[in-house]
Amino acid sequence: RTCKRNKDVQGLSCGFEGKIEKETQRKVKDTVRTFYITKKEDCIFSEFVNSLSFDKVNKDNYTKVILEDFIKGFNASFKSNKNNTQAISTTSEQYRGFDSKDYTFWGVFKGGITGISREVYESDNATKPTSTIDESKVATLYYYYKIWLPLDSNVGILMVQSYTSVGCTSLFKEQLENYFIRKGYKISSWSKCIPKEYIEKYLKDGYIDEIHVIHRKRDIEKPLNPVFGAFMFAKRREIFNRFNIFFKDFISVVNYKSVLQSQIKAISTDFDEEQDVVKLFYVNSKGQSANATLANIEDILPTITLDDSLKDENSQQPKWDELHLFTKDLLNDIKKQISYTPNLIV
């Protein structure tokens, strides 16, 4: 019996922030987080490539070099998330490829749940387990990824395939970010990136008509000592309204999260993008309304479900070559959408 588990592809855009100058730590919501301060000058990806300490790395082979170096960083072992609930790995014998002329490289990684004991049963017998998986092991599925990093830009695209509600996209992003940090460079915030045809199909007429900024930062030099004790938990909220931004136009902007934060900062001078919460309110032509934080706004965006022709009928695994061609077409659509035109890098 075969399980018909849906597969989908998620596209994410990121900004290449630049070379790291300083590492610092800050307490945020009762936890200590590490931040990286980068040079203020604009930085395109070719600067990172030129900084690599490899012999004979150039514009014709850099995707091959980065792909092999990224895989090597896993050391044929699994990298887990901070909570040790999920782990991923990729190794050199797995499906992979590169095309420096198209600024892309791609491959397959394995990932899944770890850190908890599980029992395995036959589907028709729930009384006697056939085996156990202890907390030190990783139960994996295979996932496809494609990365587009053009030399002449500071914007990149990551595409990751997942299964219905099972995926390792966040952990893969984390490992990719860590790779660049180890090399002395930083990736800025990620944004979901979907071709307009998919957006328009699901979000035809919705628009954002109000934005709230909930300030969490307090002046530690002026401790609050209110008459009413409950006021200790009060939050200051700024409201931006009397505007309409079509939702599809908003999320079509590259790195729209960072762009919106910069717009808010231009108006609200004490806005702290690390601590303050941004909430967006949207409505459609039928009067249906909803709201979401900027951090979670992508939850309402559609995923790109893979057609059955891209899956093996027996194993239900994606057909990697066909998926490569499918994502290549998607990437071309996204490049047109963001008006990308290549410049010659010598």
Looking at the DSSP assignment, which residues form a beta bridge with residue 36? 23
In this prediction, residue 253 has a pLDDT band, given cuts at 50, 70 and 90, of confident
User: How many whole angstroms separate alpha carbon 65 and alpha carbon 43?
Assistant: 20
Q: What is the DSSP letter of 225?
A: -
pLDDT range class, residue 328, cuts 50, 70, 90: very high
Residue with more model confidence, 231 or 94? 94
Domain boundaries, the chain: 7-195+302-337, 204-299
- DSSP letter for 306, please: P
- pLDDT grade for 100, boundaries at 50, 70 and 90: very high
Q: Is the pLDDT of residue 3 over 60?
A: no
- pLDDT for residue 303: 66
For residue 19, the number of C-alpha atoms closer than 13 Å in the C-beta half-sphere is 12
Would you say 303 and 199 are in contact if contact means Cβ atoms under 8 Å apart? no
Residue 147: what are its φ and ψ, rounded to 5°? -125, 130
> CA neighbours within 13 Å on the CB side: how many for 40?
0
Q: What is the pLDDT of residues 118-144, one digit of tens each?
A: 999 999 999 999 999 999 999 999 999
| Nearest of 213, 261, 196, 215 to residue 15 by alpha carbon | 261
Q: Do 202 and 302 form a contact (C-beta atoms < 8 A)? A: yes
Q: Is the pLDDT of residue 269 over 80?
A: yes
> What's the rounded Cα separation, in Å, for the pair 164 and 156?
25
DSSP code of residue 166: B
Share of the chain above pLDDT 70, in %: 86
